Amino acid sequence: MTSRIPLRKRLLVRLLIASALIAVCSVAATTWLAVETTTRALREEQGQDLADDMKILAELSGYAATHPQWKGVQSLVGTLARQTGRRIALTTTDRTLIADSARKGTALPLGAAATVDPLRTDTYTQPGAQLSGIDPRAVGPYRLTAQERAKLDAFAKNKRSCYAEHGVDVKLEHSPSGRPLLLNSDGSDASSDLMEGCGYGLSQPVPTEQKALDALATTARDCLRKQHPSLDAPLFLYMSPSSTNPVGRRILAKYAKDLDPQAQKTAETCVEAAQRTQLDPYVAPAAELYLGGDDTTPPRFDMSPANKAKIVGVVGLVLAVTVAVTAVVATRLVRPLRALTAAAQQPPERHVRVPVTTRDETGILAEAFNDLAERRERIEAQRKAMVSDIAHELRSPLTNIRGWLEVTRDGVVDPDPALLASLHEEALVLQRIIDDLQDLAAADAGTLRLHPEPLHADELLDQVAAAHRVAAVAAGVDVRTETDGECRLDADPVRMRQALGNLVSNALRHTPADGTVTLAARHEGNDVVFTVADTGTGIAAEDLPHVFDRFWRAEKSRSRRTGGSGLGLPIVRHLVAAHGGTVTAESEPGGGAVFTLRLPGAPQPDKA
Q: Residue 238 has what pLDDT?
A: 62
DSSP annotation string for 551-577? T--S-TT--TTT---S-HHHHHHHHHH
Mean pLDDT of all residues in 496-507: 86
- What's the pLDDT tens digit per position in 46-101? 566 778 888 888 888 889 888 999 998 999 989 998 888 888 999 998 888 999 98
Q: What is the pLDDT of residue 205?
A: 83
pLDDT at 606 over 70: no
CB of 241 within 8 A of CB of 181? yes
The arithmetic mean of pLDDT across residues 470-481, rounded, is 89
Determine the Cα–Cα distance for residues 527 and 311; give it in Å rounded to an integer: 74
pLDDT at 301: 46
Burial class (CB in 10 A: 0-12, 13-18, 19+), 504: buried
Domains (range + CATH), the chain? 1-117+286-345 (no CATH), 140-282 (no CATH), 361-441 (1.10.287.130), 449-600 (3.30.565.10)
Partnered with residue 599 across adjacent β-strands are 528
CA dist list (Å): 588 to 319, 506, 535, 554, 585 = 71, 16, 10, 14, 10
Q: Identify the residue with better confidence: 163 or 294.
A: 163
End-to-end CA distance of the chain: 76
Looking at every residue in the chain, the average pLDDT score rounds to: 77
| Helical ranges in 67-140 per DSSP H | 73-84
Q: How confident is the model over 404-425, as pLDDT tens digits? A: 788 888 887 777 887 777 777 7
Mean predicted confidence (pLDDT) in 474-480: 90
Under 8 Å between Cβ of 537 and 508: no
Give yes or no for residue 441 having a pLDDT over 90.
no
The whole-model pTM stands at 0.43
Q: Quote the CA–CA distance of 30 and 476 in Å, as a whole number.
A: 91
State the pairing for strand pair 516-524/478-483. Answer: parallel
The residue length of the chain stands at 608
